[in-house]
Amino acid sequence: MSKKIVVIGSINMDLVYEVPEIVKEGQTIQTTDHHLFFGGKGANQAMTAAQLGAEVAFIGSVGEDGYGQQAIFNLESQHVDTSYIHHQGLTGQAIIQLSHTAENAILLYPGANFNVTPAHIEAARDVIEQSDMLLLQLEIPLPAIERAIEIAYASNTQIFLNPAPSQPLSDDLLMKLDYLTPNCTELENLSGIPFDEHNLEEACEILINKGVNCVIVTLGKKGSYYFTRDGQQGYLSSNRMKPVDTTGAGDAFSGALAVALLHDSELEEAIHYASDVAGYVVTQKGAQPEIPLSYRYVKYHV
């Protein structure tokens, strides 16, 4: 039986401009190509989880425009339940510079994503309570995220937060989290300790002492580092794939990790699997590429 994940988060259209290098202040450069992709951290994670075999429902907001209709159709193409998505205003957009070295810079217009309210979350209480895991990011208003976490925590639904983009989070919120996946910048902001690989353990321990059950720090090309409440910790390397587009790599990691954890994988096995999926995604253009069936969790671990 597939595991049920409810994703609450953002839905965007990504306007991607390929450039020789990321533009600097006062500089004007010509784009070498342009693409329109589906995006938004929430939608990216939902599409990854759905393609890997999870049963996914989505709570969020799109605009009353063509982009919103396209985004809904795209999610439904992977059987994501979109019945909890509201339509209001204009769909969120991300303007992305993609360099020839696969690095990116992103300008985000939140649009309808900022229309998600605690009332919308409350209206979807049943789906949160009946899911195995709640998967969250921080591209929608924090009050909605806090309400979703309260409902999930009360119903013993596992709570997985990818704390991006970085912002302050209360100790009351952190103590309810089962899984937290910051990158280096987010770890620094949440722990209050300047990032250094030599103090990763100390920074993670601060978050564990605030109540987080498991912290998994994504370190880009260097892999990841994990630290759990029961004292497990360690570095795990990632597959060195030649990147084409790193947009959405962290979201693919989070979506795949959620799927693996719901299949009761050992933590290191789950992280390796998520790294493999993210490694494939960076070899493709766009944040929501089609993932081969061979990466589905049940096939990948035969």
Catalytic positions? 251
Taking the CA atoms of residue 126, residue 264, residue 149 and residue 272 in that order, the dihedral angle to the nearest 10 degrees is -130
Residue in this structure with the two tokens 């013993």, named with its chain if needed: 156
Number of residues assigned to the chain: 302
DSSP 70-128: HHHHHHHTTT-EEEEEEE-S--EEEEEEEETTS-EEEEEE-GGGGG--HHHHHHTHHHH
Q: Environment class of residue 40 by beta-carbon count within 10 Å: exposed (0-12), middle (13-18) or buried (19+)? A: buried
Residue type, 176: K
Sign of the dihedral defined by the CA atoms of residues 36, 37, 38, 41, in that order: negative
134 touches 148 (CB < 8 A): yes
Tokens of 180: 């937290």
H or E segment to which residue 94 belongs: strand 92-99
Tokens of 129: 């309570």
Tokens of 44: 């990216």
Q: Pick from 47, 51, 50: which is nearest to 39 by CA?
A: 47
